[in-house]
Amino acid sequence: MQMQKCVFLDRDGVLNRERGDYTYALDDFDVLPRVAEALALLREHDYLLIVITNQGGVAKGRYQRADVLACHQKLQAVCGHLVDALYYAPGHPDYSASLSRKPDSLMLERAMAKYNIDPALSWMVGDSVRDLEAAAKVGVAGILVGNKYPPQTHTWQTADLWQATHLILEQQKKPA
C-alpha cells in the first residue's frame, strides 16, 4: 500500500477564530477567511486533511464532547466536508495525564497508522509551538501561523492557513 501525504491541522486559531477562551458554542465557532479555499487547494494536490486539536475544556467541565462534535460538523459543512478525520484530546493536565494532548503526539501517531501517512511528505499547521512540538516527535514538518509569536520563532511561519498552503505547495515542488 502506497503511503499518503497529509496536512495535519490544529483547530482553534488555524481553522476557526481563536477567541482567547474555549470555543465550543456554535454561535462562537467562526471559520476563518479562505480556510475552505485552502483545504480545497490542498485536496487538489492529494493531501489528506486531518484535524488534531486539544479540547481540555471537556475535562474541566466547561463543555461536553457533543459540543466539540457539533463544532466539527459545522466546520465540515462550511468547508464542503473536505476534512478526512478529526481527532481531539478531551483531557487537561490539571485533571488527568494524556499522551494524546499536544505537545505529545499520540493523536498524530494514531492518524498516521490508520491512514498510512508518510511523515516525510506531511505537514502540521498550528498556531502554537506545542502543535509543532507534537509534529516534530513523529517527523512531520511544521508551519506556525498567526501572530501569537514574534517573527522568526519558527523556520516556517505565515499569517494564516492560506499562506501556509502556498508554502506547502511551494516546498512540495522542490527536489529532495
Q: What CATH number should be reported for the domain holding residue 83?
A: 3.40.50.1000
Of residues 144 and 93, more confidently modeled: 144
Angstrom distance (rounded) from CA 139 to CA 119:
6
Angstrom distance (rounded) from CA 42 to CA 119:
16
Domain that holds residue 95: 6-171
**pLDDT of the residue at 20:** 81
Domain count, the chain: 1
Rounded to two decimals, the pTM is 0.94
**Is 21's pLDDT higher than 90?**
no
Q: Counting Cβ atoms within 10 Å, is residue 137 exposed (0-12), middle (13-18) or buried (19+)?
A: middle
Is 22 inside a domain boundary? yes
Q: Do the Cβ atoms of 90 and 101 come closer than 8 Å? A: no
- Helix, strand, coil share of the chain (percent; to 5): 40, 20, 45
Of residues 101 and 75, more confidently modeled: 75
Instruction: Show which residues are catalytic.
Output: 10, 12
What is the average per-residue pLDDT within 128-139? 97
pLDDT tens profile 22-55? 899 999 999 999 999 999 999 999 999 999 999 9
Is 176 inside a domain boundary? no
**pLDDT of the residue at 175:** 65
- Residue-averaged pLDDT of the chain: 93
**pLDDT of the residue at 159:** 96
**Is 126's pLDDT higher than 90?**
yes
pLDDT tens profile 60-89? 888 889 999 999 999 999 999 999 999 998
Is 1 inside a domain boundary? no
**Is 176's pLDDT higher than 60?**
no
